[in-house]
Structure 1
Amino acid sequence: MRTGTAAATAHVDRFVLDRLPPAEHWPQIRLDESLYCYPSRLNAASILLDRAIERGWDQRPCMGLGDDMWTYADVADCANRIAAVLVEDYGVVAGNRVLLRGANAPWMVAAWLGVLKAGAVAVTTMPLLRAAELAKVLSKCEPAVSLCEAGMEAELQKVTGGPIAIWGPDGDLNVAAAVKSGEFTAVDTAATDPALLASTSGTTGDPKVAVHFHRDLLVIADAFEPILRAGPDDVFVGSPPLAFTFGLGGEVVFPMRAGACTWFCDEPGPAALAELIARRQATVCFSSPTAYRAMTMLDPRPDLSSLRCGVSAGEWLPRSTFELVEHELGLRLNDGIGATELLHIFISAPDAEIRPGSTGKPLPGWEAAILDADGAPVPDGRPGLLAVRGPIGCRYLDDERQTVYVHNGWNFTGDVYVRDADGYFWYQARADDMIISSGYNIAAPEVEEALLTHAAVAEAGVIGTPDAERGMVVHAFVRLTDPSSATDALACELQDHVKASIAPYKYPRRITFCAEPLPTTPTGKLQRRGLAAPLGE
């Protein structure tokens, strides 16, 4: 039975199914079976894990942390034991939600796979979330049980009355799993049964929760295969948390689909990531432009020559950063744009087709267009709203904002892009990062890019701040390579540098020098709202 044939749900608990958007609010799902042909019944964890064992990969390295490497057989054993605990000890049935809270580690991945094997729906959460933020996720998803790493349970305990199973030294989950057999037959889920609830922040702080199916987890790996060309000998690393779908794909789904292994970073930051790359001779890295740029500036810098593929996403990749990384590391970064709503990257380019400064072209099976606010096509060379459709689409869990993201079958990502005559897509700004000053539209990333080409600038972030005459003015926050060089004269020099690089009206009329690194989100993106906070914006 193929993807176009409906299959009965395995979900006993219809909580998620009953909270999907009405059919008329769904985007158009375009699943090209010549590219993505899956059976109508599949369990993603079984495909990623059990299929690996069947292929004889059981003793291959799968994932490691510190000096501890788990084989595929180790991961399968742990995932099966966790699935058995959920079903036998907590009464979990197919369709129940299970919240996961933990750092990037083999136990976290085994827990995620165990949830899927049990037919439940994984609710991934960022480790840095506090009680108030967790409460919003709990309210939306209503998990039957939570699985939590030891030491991270305090915030969760403040807001849930449900059971929490702890993994870690002497954790009750470890104890319960130890007495299970290590054998578990994955629940026979439909390819279109929900497998994952992924949260993304709204502008009000009220999270939106995207629903993704078992099939979707395979689609993202198969769509990105022309970029990665991954094989069993590859060693993956990355910086994003696994609760961020960029990290889940790049550090778990993609390597497991290829029979490769992943080493997780046990400390945050580019320096630790660079050390890990050198120590483990990593070949594939998933991280942000900010992190790649920071790795080029390490002194001393570890040997990163083992990398053959660096995937950059989560924020725009400036051409200056691409060229810096290529010059310093000999690595041509594969830029990409993805979205939590669409699970992973949908526009990128393989090495031979990279055009520095461009995000690339739609991946196989994806279609992208530049449209205006009314949904009409915008001519090539002119900016407009990026709209995409393909094998995965936005499906918010019981959220009226579905109709904001989806129009006329298209997913609108909130990004302003230009498409050129050759079909390449060029990022301009987030739609809400456009600064209107004296009637001119100015894209904050463009000004940041101009600043970053100055030798004195290590980091740059740009926002608009109120101005009585112009409505808004461009305000740049700059961290220098040498903080002691911050002077009014250098500020003027930077302004002149921007005027010489891009249209003069775009130059930053205000510059604030920052001694500390610019604020970023837990996923490594520049947090422009954090720039405004010191000003009381």
Structure 2
Amino acid sequence: MEPRDATSSTDTASTAAAARPARTAHRDTFARDHLPPPGQWPELRFDLPELSYPERLNAAAELLAGTAAERPAFRTADGEVWTYGQLRARVDRIAHTLTTRLGVVPGNRVLLRGPTTPWLAACWLAVLKAGAVAVTVLAQQRPHELHTICGIARVGHALCDVRVVDDLVKADVPGLHITTYGGDSPDDLLHLPASEEPFPPGDTAADDVALIAFTSGTTGRPKGCMHFHRDVLAIADTFSRHILQPRPDDVFAGSPPLGFTFGLGGLVVFPLRAGASALLLEQAGPGQLLPAIAEHRVSVLFTAPTAYRAMLGELDGHDITSLRRCVSAGENLPATTWQAWYERTGLRVINGIGATELLHIFISAADDRIRPGTTGVPVPGWHARVQDANGRPVPDGEPGLLAVRGPVGCRYLADPRQQEYVRDGWNITGDTYVRDPDGYFRYVARADDMIISAGYNIAGPEVEEALLRHPDVVETAVVGQPDEARGQIVVAYAVLRAGAAPDPDALRAFLTSELAPYKCPREFVFLDALPRTATGKLQRFRLRTHLTPAAGTAAETRPDANSAAAEGDHG
């Protein structure tokens, strides 16, 4: 099943090759059989020479090839170092076990679950090398979430860190064969007898499905996003190659787990593609990142704006001089956070927008091209525009829906929402953006985060950025609450610095000096923490369902944010 060929006469020869049907290596063809109909695919573009991939391609074999065996590949917090030679040997051994002991055949879906460790990364590489399909989930996900994902993807096998296997067992997935790793049992993945010979990589097609990444579920039932072997390399050959510009001596680290495509790219795909190494941290909050950067001389950091804000207050006493690249994604990076980080560290944060549907970042900028307050420009190999609800481009300076296309596109697993995300060959990300006349893209809001009050369009993130300029506000989220008179009113949730008194009137007075009066929240709710997914993404829908009728005092306006966060879908 192939998409429409949307290339121009200037595209490389790889475009035509990529658009031709290829012989699948999958014996279990479930994933290919459940791709969207060809007419619902986005148009794909392969405009760069480095995107000329051969018809037969195994992404894991490509990532593992070409780097000297003695060079470091993965590092751990306790100082363990895996060389490329050791990584290749361990991946091959797991692949042998999968195919000869566990009965995994090309195309089978294999669930991967565990904290961020070299063994989890090795399992992911082994699944791809064996020609199977990796379904990486989060160690924090609960049984009902796991049951749903396994049902959607028809998962038959799972490789799970022994420390987090209980919830997977409780998920009660019919026919699921669970193999643990990291334990003492003789049937543990790492203790099963297996060949020590090199494993011949599966003869996969470039357009065979390599992984299924599930959306975070912050808006409802999670969607399975199917990505090909060539897609895995394409995100490295666009964003990483052209924006990050990694070096073989770089040490990558970050907070996103491997079940989140932001983490999978930043901590596995990008460093391996560059012959560099990655520090894989099981605990990677701001409190762990700063000492890890100093101890392991991390040079490339991936985390969210929330973590950069949190680390600002903890920089004293930590040596971060090894850092040369800081990447932010997952949510909008406020200009205030960018500027504060730059002033304290001299480092320009590389902002970016990505999507599970598109695997990684597609709009960004680095170095002197960065403009604080904007996301950037389309990454080489990608195209973007801003359009109205009818698919017509809007003039520069006017808000509209962000539409994107490039070498990777949305292909949901048997999900009718495919037709909502892909329209007229473009991927519609669900974000409201403005394109400035000089070509820079500026984030306005999620399309469903736009608040319409008394006829005024109010972007929640704009109000949030203004609130963050108040010295007492540590975090904030602004949403709309239904109101009979105005349609919606603006409600601000705020987390204050320790010791600060909740004072709605003071915040309102501050905002009236920062924003037009109609944008100022009519209600304030003070929380100990904002509800977030395990990957740090704000769960605005939970705030909308936990709104309180008034915000006079802190005692009256503190719903249980911790319970809201604990019950959220993760991704």
Q: When the two structures are superposed, what TM-score results if normalisation uses the length of structure 1?
A: 0.95
Name the CA distance, whole Å, in 1 between partners of 2:37 and 2:188: 38
Q: For residue 4 of structure 1, report the CA deviation from its aligned partner.
A: 2.8
- Correspondence 1:119-518 to 2 at 5 A: 119-158=131-170, 159-160=172-173, 161-171=175-185, 172-177=187-192, 179-202=194-217, 205-224=220-239, 225-298=241-314, 300-487=316-503, 491-514=504-527, 516-518=528-530
Could you tell me which residue of structure 2 aligns to residue 63 of structure 1?
74
Q: For residue 467 of structure 1, report the CA deviation from its aligned partner.
A: 2.8
Name the CA distance, whole Å, in 2 between partners of 1:262 and 1:439: 50
CA contact under 8 A between 1:85 and 1:176: conserved in structure 2? no
Name the CA distance, whole Å, in 2 between partners of 1:192 and 1:178: 33
Could you tell me which residue of structure 1 aligns to residue 41 of structure 2?
26
Name the CA distance, whole Å, in 1 between partners of 2:409 and 2:482: 37
CA contact under 8 A between 1:367 and 1:388: conserved in structure 2? yes
Name the CA distance, whole Å, in 2 between partners of 1:427 and 1:400: 27
CA contact under 8 A between 1:2 and 1:40: conserved in structure 2? no
Q: For residue 393 of structure 1, report the CA deviation from its aligned partner.
A: 0.6
Deviation sequence 1:222-259 (CA, Å, 0-9, x none): 10112111111101001001010000000100000111
- Letter in structure 1 aligned against 2:107: G
Q: For residue 301 of structure 1, report the CA deviation from its aligned partner.
A: 4.7
Pairs aligned (count):
529
Deviation sequence 1:477-507 (CA, Å, 0-9, x none): 11122334323xxx22221222222222101
**Runs of 4+ displaced beyond 6 Å:** none
- Letter in structure 2 aligned against 1:188: D
CA contact under 8 A between 2:211 and 2:228: conserved in structure 1? yes
Name the CA distance, whole Å, in 2 between partners of 1:452 and 1:202: 27
Name the CA distance, whole Å, in 2 between partners of 1:255 and 1:517: 33
Could you tell me which residue of structure 2 aligns to residue 107 of structure 1?
119
Deviation sequence 1:63-89 (CA, Å, 0-9, x none): 122221111111111111111111001
Assess, with a 3 A threshold, how the Cα gap between structure 1 residues 3 and 76 changes in structure 2: closer, same or farther: farther
CA contact under 8 A between 1:65 and 1:105: conserved in structure 2? yes
Q: Provide the secondary structure at the position in 2 that maps to 1:156.
A: helix
Q: Provide the secondary structure at the position in 2 that maps to 1:462.
A: strand
Assess, with a 3 A threshold, how the Cα gap between structure 1 residues 89 and 421 changes in structure 2: closer, same or farther: same
Name the CA distance, whole Å, in 2 between partners of 1:304 and 1:513: 33
- Letter in structure 1 aligned against 2:98: L
CA contact under 8 A between 1:318 and 1:357: conserved in structure 2? yes
Gaps of 5+ in 1: none
Name the CA distance, whole Å, in 2 between partners of 1:316 and 1:377: 23
Could you tell me which residue of structure 1 aligns to residue 96 of structure 2?
84
Q: For residue 300 of structure 1, report the CA deviation from its aligned partner.
A: 4.5
CA RMSD of aligned residues (A): 1.6
Once the two structures are overlaid, the 10-residue window that deviates more, 318-327 or 499-508, is 499-508
- Letter in structure 2 aligned against 1:60: R
Name the CA distance, whole Å, in 2 between partners of 1:299 and 1:235: 20
- Letter in structure 2 aligned against 1:19: H
Q: For residue 174 of structure 1, report the CA deviation from its aligned partner.
A: 3.5
Assess, with a 3 A threshold, how the Cα gap between structure 1 residues 202 and 513 changes in structure 2: closer, same or farther: closer
- Letter in structure 1 aligned against 2:37: P
Name the CA distance, whole Å, in 2 between partners of 1:182 and 1:452: 56
Q: For residue 446 of structure 1, report the CA deviation from its aligned partner.
A: 0.5
Q: Provide the secondary structure at the position in 1 that maps to 2:30.
A: coil
- Letter in structure 2 aligned against 1:222: D
Name the CA distance, whole Å, in 2 between partners of 1:125 and 1:414: 23
Name the CA distance, whole Å, in 2 between partners of 1:75 and 1:175: 14
CA contact under 8 A between 1:27 and 1:409: conserved in structure 2? yes
Name the CA distance, whole Å, in 2 between partners of 1:536 and 1:75: 52
Deviation sequence 1:126-154 (CA, Å, 0-9, x none): 11111111111111111221000012111
Q: Provide the secondary structure at the position in 1 that maps to 2:466.
A: helix
Name the CA distance, whole Å, in 1 between partners of 2:470 and 2:197: 57
CA contact under 8 A between 1:199 and 1:207: conserved in structure 2? yes
CA contact under 8 A between 2:48 and 2:381: conserved in structure 1? no
Q: When the two structures are superposed, what TM-score results if normalisation uses the length of structure 2?
A: 0.90
Q: For residue 12 of structure 1, report the CA deviation from its aligned partner.
A: 1.2
Q: Provide the secondary structure at the position in 2 that maps to 1:152.
A: helix
Name the CA distance, whole Å, in 1 between partners of 2:393 and 2:251: 42
Once the two structures are overlaid, the 10-residue window that deviates more, 437-446 or 153-162, is 153-162
Once the two structures are overlaid, the 10-residue window that deviates more, 310-319 or 35-44, is 35-44
Name the CA distance, whole Å, in 2 between partners of 1:23 and 1:247: 30
CA contact under 8 A between 1:285 and 1:311: conserved in structure 2? yes
Assess, with a 3 A threshold, how the Cα gap between structure 1 residues 85 and 530 changes in structure 2: closer, same or farther: same
> Does residue 532 of structure 2 align to residue 520 of structure 1?
yes
- Letter in structure 1 aligned against 2:57: L
Deviation sequence 1:208-234 (CA, Å, 0-9, x none): 000000000110001011211111110
From 57, 79, 82, the counterpart of 1:42: 57
- Letter in structure 2 aligned against 1:164: I
Could you tell me which residue of structure 1 aligns to residue 24 of structure 2?
9
Gaps of 5+ in 2: 1-12, 550-571
CA contact under 8 A between 2:403 and 2:426: conserved in structure 1? yes
Assess, with a 3 A threshold, how the Cα gap between structure 1 residues 175 and 251 changes in structure 2: closer, same or farther: closer
CA contact under 8 A between 1:81 and 1:178: conserved in structure 2? no
Q: Provide the secondary structure at the position in 2 that maps to 1:28.
A: coil
Name the CA distance, whole Å, in 1 between partners of 2:137 and 2:543: 25
- Letter in structure 1 aligned against 2:221: D
CA contact under 8 A between 1:312 and 1:336: conserved in structure 2? yes
Name the CA distance, whole Å, in 1 between partners of 2:193 and 2:460: 53
Q: Provide the secondary structure at the position in 2 that maps to 1:483.
A: coil
Name the CA distance, whole Å, in 2 between partners of 1:536 and 1:475: 10
Deviation sequence 1:403-431 (CA, Å, 0-9, x none): 00000000000000000111000000001
CA contact under 8 A between 2:110 and 2:156: conserved in structure 1? yes
Deviation sequence 1:454-494 (CA, Å, 0-9, x none): 1221111111123333222111111122334323xxx2222
Name the CA distance, whole Å, in 1 between partners of 2:463 and 2:500: 23
